[in-house]
Amino acid sequence: MLFLSSSIKNLANHSLGKILMFLLLILFTNKLSTSGFADYILFLNLYSLSLLFSSIGIPQYIIRSLSSKDNVSYIKLFLNSIILNIILSSLFSFIIFFVLKISFSINFYFIYFFFIISSINITLLSIFHGLSKVVFADFLDFLIKPTIIFIVIILIYFFNKDLNFTFIFTAFLISQISLFAILCGTILNKLPIRDFYKRDIGNKFEFGLFTKSIIFLGATSFLHIFNSRVDIIMINHFLNKENLAIYGLTLQLVAVLNFPIQAIRSIFHPNLYKYLSIKSYKLANNQLNLIRVGIIYFHIVMIFFAFLLGFLIFPIVFTEKYILSFYLFIFYSFFNLLIIPFLMSEVIMHSFNKEKQIAFITFISAIFNIIFNIIFIPIYGIYGALLITLFCNLIVHASLFFISKRQCNQFSIIKISDFKNFNDYMIYKFKQFK
* pLDDT at residue 28 is higher than 80: yes
Q: How far is C-alpha 364 from the chain's CA centre?
A: 21
Distance CA(163)–CA(29), nearest Å, equals 11
- What value does the mean pLDDT take over residues 102-118? 91
Per-residue pLDDT, 362: 84
Write the DSSP assignment of 285-333 as a string of letters: HHHHHHHHHHHHHHHHHHHHHHHHHHHHHHHHHH-GGGHHHHHHHHHHH
The single-letter DSSP state of residue 350 is H
Distance CA(266)–CA(97), nearest Å, equals 37
Distance CA(351)–CA(278), nearest Å, equals 10
Delimit the domains of the chain by residue range: 1-210, 211-434
- What value does the mean pLDDT take over residues 378-401? 92
Could you read off the pLDDT of 85-94 as tens digits, one per residue?
888 899 889 9
Distance CA(150)–CA(384), nearest Å, equals 34
Could you read off the pLDDT of 170-200 as tens digits, one per residue?
999 999 999 999 988 887 776 555 554 444 4
* pLDDT at residue 239 is higher than 50: yes
* pLDDT at residue 3 is higher than 50: no
Q: Are 125 and 183 spatial neighbours (Cβ–Cβ below 8 Å)?
A: yes
Could you read off the pLDDT of 291-318 as tens digits, one per residue?
888 888 888 888 888 888 788 889 889 9
Per-residue pLDDT, 123: 87
Distance CA(224)–CA(366), nearest Å, equals 8
Could you read off the pLDDT of 341-364 as tens digits, one per residue?
888 887 788 777 777 788 788 888
Distance CA(113)–CA(182), nearest Å, equals 18
- What value does the mean pLDDT take over residues 87-104? 88
Q: Are 137 and 62 spatial neighbours (Cβ–Cβ below 8 Å)?
A: no
- Number of other residues whose CB lies within 10 A of the CB of residue 202: 12
Per-residue pLDDT, 179: 93
Quote the percentage of the chain above a pLDDT of 90.
29
Q: Are 233 and 100 spatial neighbours (Cβ–Cβ below 8 Å)?
A: yes
Per-residue pLDDT, 2: 41
pTM for this prediction: 0.86
Per-residue pLDDT, 171: 94
User: H-type helices in 212-240, by residue range?
Assistant: 212-238
Q: How many CA atoms lie within 13 Å of 56's alpha carbon, on the beta-carbon side?
A: 23
Per-residue pLDDT, 386: 93
* pLDDT at residue 73 is higher than 70: no
CB environment 127-163: b (16+ within 10 A), e (fewer): bbbbbebbbbbbbbbbbbbbebbbebbeebeeeeeeb
Alpha-carbon dihedral sign for residues 342, 344, 349, 355: positive
Average per-residue pLDDT in the chain?
A: 81
* pLDDT at residue 278 is higher than 70: yes
